[in-house]
Structure 1
Amino acid sequence: MAQTATPSGAPASRPTPPGQSRGGSSGWATGGTLFAGVLLFVDGVIAVLNGIVGINKDNVYTRIGDYTYRFSVTSWGWIHLVIGILLILTGIGILRGALWARFVGVGMAAVSIVANFMWLPYQPIWAIIAVALGVFVIWSLLTDRGRSAV
């Protein structure tokens, strides 16, 4: 198969498909990785605040209906506090460009999705939003191949 050449004699490069960067990842994923770091950080801050409220005031959150996954609100407060701190640290790592943070970010986003699914009876709207954000974070971190390994 013959390779085309430019007028200067150098081989012609293939045009980059729309929505893709030269590194092979989509522009959405590349920009999304930075956004994923911000989302993990913000989700962590909100989880820490939810945790503090759950630990301090057991009557702030009311369960809607009967649900299989029952924990006391204080237990949920500790769960959210720990997950929130880990999300904040992971988000900071992603924003600093640490490769380990991208891998940990996928795992922490998955943990956040599961925790928010189980948290549905207490804050259904926020839990659904947090699950959707977690899915975006996982997609973004797994599809960005634009950065080289550090």
Structure 2
Amino acid sequence: MGSDSEGEKSVQREKERKKILALAPIAKPLAGKKLSKRTLKLVKKAAEHKCIKRGVKEVVKSIRRGQKGVCVIAGNISPIDVITHVPILCEEAEIPYVYVPSKEDLATAGATKRPTCCVLVMTKPSKGELAQEVQEKLKSEFDQVASDITELTTSLF
């Protein structure tokens, strides 16, 4: 039985290695394991409350319209040209952005079946209002992730 779990571990390690190899060279700042987990959790919660924009088109449109949030971009997009303009838009609009290793994980968290290039997590839903306590919980998680991303970005440059 011991060898079985060893085999599973090596399969898991191999998957992680493949994810890293598939990463685009521009995927910086890349979230570490802990931040990735927390970011995807935030995306999942935001998706439940409809505080999310999925896909390059929607995200770009929202940023141009002046909506604020945290932009989460998948690092394994190919061809990379699809998303190269998104970080620049984010920087101009002063929106914190971070790369997560996998578009599949991002889609799972964002409650879609299709792999997703990027999502914009907002603190308020585009339509309607949230209950006060839900809003506050989402906001506190959002602020935590945003500050972690800002820290990561400042350590890079």
Which structure has the highest strand share of the two? 2
Higher normalized helix content (fraction of residues): 1
TM-score higher than 0.5: no
* Structure with max Cα Rg: 1
* TM, length-normalised to structure 1: 0.29
